[in-house]
Amino acid sequence: MMKLCVKGFSIFLSFCLLAGIFPISGASAANGEVFEKQIMNGAADPFVLLHEGNYYMTFTQVDRIDIFKSADLADIANGEVTRAFTPPANGWGSKNIWAPKLHRINDKWYLYYTADDGVDANHRMYVLENESPDPMSGTWVSKGEVVNMPDIFAIDGNTFEHNGTYYFVWSTRTNGIMELWIDAMIDPLTVRGEAVVISTPTHDWEKIAGGVNEGPAILKRNGRIFMTFSATGCQSPDYSLGMLTAEDTADLLDPASWSKSPAPVFSKNPEENVYGPGHNSFTTSPDGTEDWLVYHANSRPDAGCTGARGTRVQKIEWNEDGTPDFGRPSAVQILVKCQAGRYEAEDARYNRSVVQNHNQNASCGSHVGNIDFNDSYVEFSQIYAARAGTYVLKIAYAHGMDRSSYQVTVNDRPAVELSLPSTGWGNWKEASLNVELDRGMNTIRLAKGLHFSEVDYIYVEPLNVPDGGEEGALQAKVDEIRLLDQSLYTEESWEIIPKSLAAADALLADSQANQHQLDTAFDVLTGAVAKLEWRQKPVSEGPAIVDAKIVDGRANRLVLTFDQAIVLNHARGFYLLGTKGPIMVTSANYRVEEDGRRLLLHLTSEAQAGEVLSLSYLPELGSIKTVDGHAMDEYVGKRVSNRSKPAPTSLTTTNISYDVVELTWEAPPYEVEGYKIYRDGVEVGDTAETAYTDKRLAPGSSYDYKVTAYDAAGNESESSLSIQVQTKHLPVNSHTGIGVIAPEEHKVDTAEGMTTLTVNDKKLLQDILASESTSVRFELTNIGDTAAKTIILSKQGLELLREHNRLIEIRNGNVMLLLPEEWLDPDQIKDELKIMLEVERLLSAVEGFAPVSGKIQISAMSGGERLYWDKSIQVVYSGLDANRSPSVAAYTFEERAKTWKYVGGNLDRFNGAFSFDIHPFVPFSVLQYFSLFKDVDASHWADEAIGQLAMRGYMHGVGNDSFAPDDRLTRAMFVTLMNRLLGLEEVAYEGQFSDVKEGAWYASSIATAHKAGIMNGKGTGMFPEGYITREEMAAMVMRALEAGGVDGAVDPGNAAFADNGQISDWARDMVNNVAAVGIMTGKLNNRFDPQAHATRAEAAVIVYRMIQLM
């Protein structure tokens, strides 16, 4: 059964409903589909040409140029495709092939494209020629670079004819700025060599992410020539179209003939989740009555210049003054087709291969390509066979070679070569091979054979299917029951099991058994197991499934919820046993969510709402256990549920940082009580607003978000469409620049314990021009073995950095520092700039900490004087063990006190890097905290919170290596903790409180907290030495949150606690508020215990929760 997965389904549904009510007239009705969906996934820089009734399309594929052809532009992804160009292995024009454009000139076809040799600065314009009447046939011949162009960086070349002359227009980079140049052509291969600049970035919107004018496209109408171009860098969601206009009687080589639009003519539309629309081309409707804009765009603001960009089409309207009106980019549907029963290549394991997603014709919109190396392969490790025997393996493949092959291996048996006839790139065909499969799980690997081929999916079918029904479900149920231990059950209840198994075995052996007989035997076995009685029921400590739900209405996505956190031990043998047979879970497609209780399964076939499923796996391949090692021993079937209430819509992000994501959405059309926010399938928040901020995320990590609504009765809606969000990466390797210093390029000296790098200005300029990075990296790791190293930059070198807007980045071993622009300030730097970096080995730090880095200090001098700036520098320390977790932090060294002061930072577990901002000229280090408290071990309920506060210096031990977690703490102790948390500047005590003595250790803390509104007391009494109660603590917490700028207030409503009457009137709202925001919770039997004295452990947990909230 075929299913259609629609990203943006709510939009698609709305269109379908409207189309059924309101008539759509004219050409737009006939061509409507082309405007409603993304016509090519993963396709940036699209160029579309309509020629003799067919559309031809090219786009950036980086390592090749394919031409797509279709009479229907909406279906061009599924049309004919041919390979026009495969670059040489290396050399000029072999790498980074961008923005090919197809033109028909003088009865020949030409493809203009840009490429380099792997060095960005070497991008030049190239051209291919084909004499065939059809660009899909004949031979494309490389004509090399476009002749007579300036020998500098050039991309995005395009050509157009006007008054008998062809013109060539392109983008080039001078002084770090991307400009549009134009020249007349002598012939399709040659320009005159008289290029002029017609556009340079001048407006702010052209310079948001670097000054960029690129991607020119030409539209001639109404006595004028309109030239659109893309402005600012494609990494920005503000990438947009500007427009130049010239009269058709003007001299097009005169820059004065062109006028620029003062604002973008086509830009992002966040309300419809359209970002970075640009790099367009123009075409028309098939009948020529409509002008169409073809462009690429993203559906997320953070997608940038990635493969997430897709090609879209929008109709152009015309203003009364004859100028084009491009409107705003509309929402589109991103469609992919998936078929149940297939094992998708993108879900398999693959080595030295790449998942590609530009071809909608591929199953599920993706396939695996670049299987180009001797060790490249795609491995499907969970191919289920209900019985051993011969099966037909079907492989969907595509290639444009004369011939190709795969080396096919099944279960480590000798490889068999499967020959693959040519299909044309992107034209998927199925090849067949008979293979022997074992009963149960099998592994099939497709390795590179002759030449190259891409793979989309595989599936297997029995070679000889017995007459009758499908026996897979019954066979799996029999296998499962044979694993039961008879000794655990009563003889009376077990008596029916052998008889039922014998009947099932007979049916499985009977090739004439029909489906009704097989289903009846399945039901009998299921019922027999349900009636088993324990001799003595064992106490099961293993996990049990409590819920099964279809995800987002997609029947091949299922979430199982367990009663406790689970651990998967090499669990490669999952399948779900249902009424239609085993539903396999591929090895690449299961995931335990963050809370450990939810298991997200991607299925090879569909589950149905209302179907009873049980989770099973082959024991020899793995197990499902609790965190403390108890195995799952009951496989109770759970009925699959699917919600019916409409979901929230238009889920999007409004801000993304390294560790914070801000979400907004629109309410569904009914009375909503609140919303649940899910991250990667796990509920992480609940709010009454249509916005939510998710904090403390991992930098450089991808997350899937969705939102549900619930009404006053607690009925939860369908999930919103999920969005994928990528938090910003820590800048471990995000800048390029000088790289490893070569002595012949820069002067390196070592003397008196100092290695000095004197920068060669000429080489510095070459490195600046060769990279579009925002910084230049000085790589000191491999020069000298001294602890101290110096970089010397001349005034000319500093001027080059300022002129090209480059910052200074320094890397020495695991330490990377990015210096702010103030370090290039000409008012402070008298002559040359000397930057000194010293890394002193740390043998020890302080008790309870271990050094991760050395003691690091950076300083600067000019004219013999030390320089000082206030702005922090960015530091990244890389090469960390990802398991160091939150116990790593940055600290500065206070020379006078000889102590380390907590700074903090962000750990990127995926990159093993730790980033933080530090004040310059102060020694700092990265340290790891180890708890020294003998009375708080890893099993203590407050262990994490106590450790986090100790490493921050907020709480300390009480002596004798003890923390005394159960000791009570005084009001003065807790208010001092609040002051430290908020970083309040201490206020001098002036004797204003009757019970606070001058000189008391807490006097200034009490005065500071009182001034900030955290501590009130009664009259002039503060009661500093009285033990703090839980309700007093709740009040101080809420006041501290307010003082710290956090709005913790909610509608307290009715009291949430059973002992509400024991809460003082003045504290009741604050108690309910502090519970509502999750900082303080109740005790047993829903009691808050307001008059109880709080312990040090409780205080640690509460303050740690405040840190997380703030």
Q: Would you name the residues annotated as active-site residues?
A: 45, 214
Q: Residue 1103 is encoded by which pair of tokens?
A: 């303050």
The residues, ordered by sequence, that sit 6+ positions from 806 with a Cβ below 8 Å of its Cβ are 737, 768, 773, 774, 775, 776, 800
Task: Read off the DSSP letter of residue 147.
Answer: B
Q: In angstroms, rounded to a whole number, what is the distance separating the alpha carbons of residues 212 and 514?
A: 69
Question: Closest Cα to residue 860, out of 815, 782, 793, 925?
Answer: 793
Query: Strand 141-145 and strand 833-840: pairing?
Result: unpaired
Q: Residue 366 is encoded by which pair of tokens?
A: 């993706």
Exposure of 465 in the CB half-sphere (CA atoms within 13 A): 11
- Residue 511 CA, chain-centre distance (Å), reads 50
Q: In angstroms, rounded to a whole number, what is the distance separating the alpha carbons of residues 833 and 836?
A: 10
- Residue 1023 CA, chain-centre distance (Å), reads 52
Q: Residue 149 is encoded by which pair of tokens?
A: 């162009």
Question: Is 256 exposed, middle or buried, given 0-12, 13-18 or 19+ CB atoms closer than 10 A?
Answer: exposed
Q: In angstroms, rounded to a whole number, what is the distance separating the alpha carbons of residues 1110 and 1105?
A: 9
Query: Strand 429-437 and strand 440-448: pairing?
Result: unpaired
First to last CA, the chain: 50
C-alpha to C-alpha distances, 325 to 248, 329, 786, 958, nearest whole angstrom = 19, 12, 64, 73
**3-class DSSP state for residue 420?**
strand
| Contact assessment for residue 311 and residue 40, using Cβ atoms and an 8 Å cutoff | yes
The residues, ordered by sequence, that sit 6+ positions from 348 with a Cβ below 8 Å of its Cβ are 368, 378, 379, 380, 381, 586, 587, 588
Q: In angstroms, rounded to a whole number, what is the distance separating the alpha carbons of residues 1014 and 1039?
A: 5
- Residue 503 CA, chain-centre distance (Å), reads 52
Q: In angstroms, rounded to a whole number, what is the distance separating the alpha carbons of residues 1003 and 988?
A: 8
| Contact assessment for residue 776 and residue 809, using Cβ atoms and an 8 Å cutoff | yes
R_g of the chain computed on alpha carbons: 34
Q: In angstroms, rounded to a whole number, what is the distance separating the alpha carbons of residues 639 and 995?
A: 65
What is the CB neighbour count within 10 angstroms for residue 787?
16
**Identity (one letter) of the amino acid at 1076?**
A
**Identity (one letter) of the amino acid at 312?**
R
Q: In angstroms, rounded to a whole number, what is the distance separating the alpha carbons of residues 176 and 196?
A: 18
C-alpha to C-alpha distances, 683 to 71, 639, 706, 1066, nearest whole angstrom = 47, 21, 9, 34
Task: Read off the DSSP letter of residue 196.
Answer: E
**Identity (one letter) of the amino acid at 863?**
G
**Backbone φ/ψ region at 1025: left (φ over 0), alpha (ψ -120 to 50), beta:** alpha
Q: In angstroms, rounded to a whole number, what is the distance separating the alpha carbons of residues 199 and 1000?
A: 71
Question: How many residues does this entry show for the chain?
Answer: 1110
Question: Is 434 exposed, middle or buried, given 0-12, 13-18 or 19+ CB atoms closer than 10 A?
Answer: exposed
Q: Residue 1064 is encoded by which pair of tokens?
A: 């003082």
Question: Closest Cα to residue 443, out of 508, 377, 352, 355?
Answer: 377
Question: Closest Cα to residue 839, out of 821, 816, 862?
Answer: 816
**Identity (one letter) of the amino acid at 725?**
V
Question: Is 634 exposed, middle or buried, given 0-12, 13-18 or 19+ CB atoms closer than 10 A?
Answer: exposed
